[in-house]
Structure 1
């Protein structure tokens, strides 16, 4: 009996010591958000940007890295920083350092030093060249802090992608700084891979499009830490520049002080980073803000998309990414069809696949071509609503049902993928085994399990698999050129 008591005492002391140690480690952590990789404003196969968030204090930060494995260590230029000081959030700094001279497609090591002491180390992956094989993961509607989201973060990491794309709804519910801190950074940049998350962001860049939960909240007086999308992502600024209150960017509600705080922190990303494009490997990506506040009949936007795709005709693959799917068979959000208006532009630009989210399930269309009619759109609203809930676009489409992705791998038309089962509550599971409820353009529909998209590009062959949260393949197809 006495020995049992002693064991219990010792066990209690051990657990207390572990708890104190964990608390001490948490207190000693110099980061608000640990270092993560980005493609930057001007992507290159030999450069990446490294960002991290830290308290607002003068600190001697430095970054060392090995451009080649086992090679000599180099120092980056002195890290730069932007101060984020918005109401309701302790002021903090977003630091940035540029890693140059990387070997395309190779692994590299880096470390972050504070006051001369190494406080973070990781291995990264340099971007691939056009003649190299590469893999990317796509999933949307992710930052919901759910068990499924956390498991898919690990699943994405274990897939060993070269980069990750997110077609919107990066964090729920309003794209706030506070939501990033609890629902995003700890999960996608965890210190280990398990069911709670993975060290994904420190290893490969994540590239994102704005969704409604990212940029639709524009009342900075009510939510001063909203629009964090413009603070934390270092993505190209080569798209069409909007004007606040114009056809692409709605007006913010903000006091003089709140507006000033936002603009100082967002910098040139605001009005520019909603629409952009980039090249990776042998593919060109066009990223579009598809939120309903955008006027998709705007000639400036249409011309920018058309010109961007025209410049990309030497690329082997052309992908488009945005949040709101125009071709959706789920009952949820069915009426939000406004992005269908862009389909003729995509077809003229020889787009291969369009990646979307918003609808929390997985859907794959038959290869299709689409011609909107000349009668405009039908506005749909719920009773008493002051604004339209959606826009129905009447249409004529042609489907290539001979394409099966195995024996026939040359589609006639664009394949539209909805990969919105990234962690948020699933939509319309009752339709999973009810193909009579699907629209005629839908080939595959999985709404009863969370999942992500894994794409492998090997020259003129594109292989896509949809992997569920348990690691099971639920769909696959191949496109060749």
Structure 2
């Protein structure tokens, strides 16, 4: 802002040359004042000028620095006694440290930001080159933790640290808990998926973990898209563990065949107890009496089916078992079908009495009753020849989407609840004899609900609790 010029000019009626001189001075002062004001007016009037520069490059927006970013919690071992932290720095940081303490015992130093008597664990790191340039990926594995305990932690190199965050270890026995389930985020993640992730946190602020059924991003090795995914979740990834299974968009063509994104394993630290070569994509773990299994439906599915059968046969039975994978057994989208997935997995789900299958891929929503459609009617180019929901088995099949990309619905199988053109997230609460499922729209409105009730012999009853919210069947 410019102050107005306060000029006082005194003239006398003398020679004409003097008057002309004063007039010339005044004109010069007016010209200078107008030049000072012009840039301010132009900035207010020309709103389109900035757009000529184009979008700010992702390589700059998500450039690594010496300060840790992209923090993400996950487990490679027992959730009751371990926690893994993955993060990123610039390529020059070669030290990987984690300081941690029991949260309630925290005594912070106001000058240094440190915590008195915090334990320190050294992790591992590796140089990593993306399409945006070099960086370094870090992993710290905390072990020997106390079950059912809240910890505070930070990561860094001893000089540059992340903020202190909290996480909680699981109980070492069967206890109630709640987790979040997201279908494909994939597109416009920063712009349009961020609100879904944050709204979900409002409904389940103490979620044990966030489960992602594949296609977290659109282009497997685009660093900017992984930057969007981490930014959209923000600090939530640093305090709520991620459980992820890969989708087809986590794969990219390399040397003649499709390969898993090189971002996958450095970004997460997941179990390696699946078939060799499918580490951290096909795996299982138990959480407070519930068994969670991830299958990688992008490759070697027959081998995984045999592994699943053997694993569930050899392990002691869990009260609840949930399987997540990307390509649906029963597709929700029009003109889509996965007959190999169905032929290999449906009989195993029936045999081992799987409670829920949490899937993605179809960019629509569909949720079955117990057992899904009739098994005998699931052949051909569509999922079901006639829309009949049977009771063959006890698995509830869910296909969901959390991002903005949408496909039209199939009309070939009878689902309890469907939606098209609707971003959704799900909360699932598990107790000893009850599983409570809720699906919400991005705005937080309840869209679908049911409860599974399990008797002592293991028999299951599904109680429909669909709200009065109108069904979303948008023309796409």
TM-score (norm 2): 0.73
Residue 427 of structure 1, aligned match among 393, 404, 407: 407
Q: 2:91 matched to 1:84?
A: no
Distance 2:445 2:384 in 1: 35
Alignment of 1:358-397 (within 5 A): 358-368=361-371
Distance 1:35 1:325 in 2: 30
Residue 83 of structure 2, aligned match among 15, 34, 48: 48
Residue of structure 1 in register with 2:326 after alignment:
323
CA gap of 1:308–1:414, structure 2 versus 1, over 3 A, is: same
Residue 168 of structure 1, aligned match among 208, 214, 218: 214
TM-score (norm 1): 0.72
Residue of structure 2 in register with 1:16 after alignment:
none
Residue 209 of structure 1, aligned match among 245, 266, 272: 245
Distance 1:63 1:182 in 2: 22
CA gap of 1:130–1:477, structure 2 versus 1, over 3 A, is: farther
Question: 1:85 Cα shift?
Answer: 3.5
Distance 2:215 2:436 in 1: 25
Distance 2:315 2:387 in 1: 27
Distance 1:230 1:220 in 2: 19
CA gap of 1:439–1:272, structure 2 versus 1, over 3 A, is: same
SS of 2:174's equivalent in the other structure is coil
SS of 1:340's equivalent in the other structure is helix
Question: 1:177 Cα shift?
Answer: 4.4
1:44-83 deviation line (CA, Å, top 9, x unaligned) = 3121011111122244442211134225643233121122
Answer yes or no: is the 8 Å Cα contact 2:180–2:211 preserved in 1: yes
Answer yes or no: is the 8 Å Cα contact 2:297–2:325 preserved in 1: yes
Distance 1:304 1:331 in 2: 31
1:434-468 deviation line (CA, Å, top 9, x unaligned) = xxx63343111022321101001122211010011
Q: 2:164 matched to 1:121?
A: yes
Distance 1:43 1:312 in 2: 15
Residue 348 of structure 2, aligned match among 345, 350, 353: 345
Residue 39 of structure 1, aligned match among 45, 54, 75: 75
Of the two, which has the highest radius of gyration? 2
Residue of structure 1 in register with 2:449 after alignment:
476
Answer yes or no: is the 8 Å Cα contact 2:165–2:238 preserved in 1: yes
Residue of structure 2 in register with 1:64 after alignment:
99
Residue 399 of structure 1, aligned match among 380, 390, 409: 390
Distance 1:352 1:224 in 2: 31
1:290-338 deviation line (CA, Å, top 9, x unaligned) = 12x54x4x3x4332111222244521101110001121243152x2333
Answer yes or no: is the 8 Å Cα contact 1:31–1:52 preserved in 2: no
Mean CA deviation greater in 27-36 or 451-460:
27-36
Query: Could you list the runs of 5+ residues in structure 2 that have no partner in the other structure?
Result: 6-35, 44-60, 107-115, 455-476
Residue 108 of structure 1, aligned match among 141, 151, 156: 151
Residue 416 of structure 1, aligned match among 382, 393, 397: 397
CA gap of 1:443–1:478, structure 2 versus 1, over 3 A, is: same
Distance 1:177 1:75 in 2: 36
Question: 1:28 Cα shift?
Answer: 9.5
Question: 1:106 Cα shift?
Answer: 3.1
Answer yes or no: is the 8 Å Cα contact 1:360–1:426 preserved in 2: yes
Distance 1:396 1:117 in 2: 59
Distance 2:238 2:4 in 1: 46
Distance 2:182 2:443 in 1: 15
Query: Could you list the runs of 5+ residues in structure 1 that have no partner in the other structure?
Result: 13-24, 190-198, 242-269, 381-390, 401-410, 432-436
Question: 1:365 Cα shift?
Answer: 0.5
Answer yes or no: is the 8 Å Cα contact 2:186–2:403 preserved in 1: yes
Answer yes or no: is the 8 Å Cα contact 1:148–1:469 preserved in 2: no
Question: 1:132 Cα shift?
Answer: 2.2
Alignment of 1:213-292 (within 5 A): 213-215=249-251, 217-219=252-254, 226-241=261-276, 270-291=277-298
CA RMSD of superposed structures (Å): 3.5
Answer yes or no: is the 8 Å Cα contact 2:88–2:137 preserved in 1: yes
Mean CA deviation greater in 361-370 or 466-475:
361-370
SS of 2:331's equivalent in the other structure is coil
Question: 1:275 Cα shift?
Answer: 1.4
Residue of structure 2 in register with 1:137 after alignment:
180
SS of 2:147's equivalent in the other structure is coil
Residue of structure 1 in register with 2:423 after alignment:
450
Residue of structure 1 in register with 2:25 after alignment:
none
Distance 2:64 2:278 in 1: 37
Distance 1:4 1:464 in 2: 66
Question: Which of the two has greater strand per residue?
Answer: 1
SS of 2:197's equivalent in the other structure is helix
Mean CA deviation greater in 319-328 or 58-67:
58-67
How many equivalent residue pairs?
Answer: 392
Distance 2:4 2:328 in 1: 63
Residue 461 of structure 1, aligned match among 434, 443, 455: 434
Alignment of 1:300-311 (within 5 A): 300-311=303-314
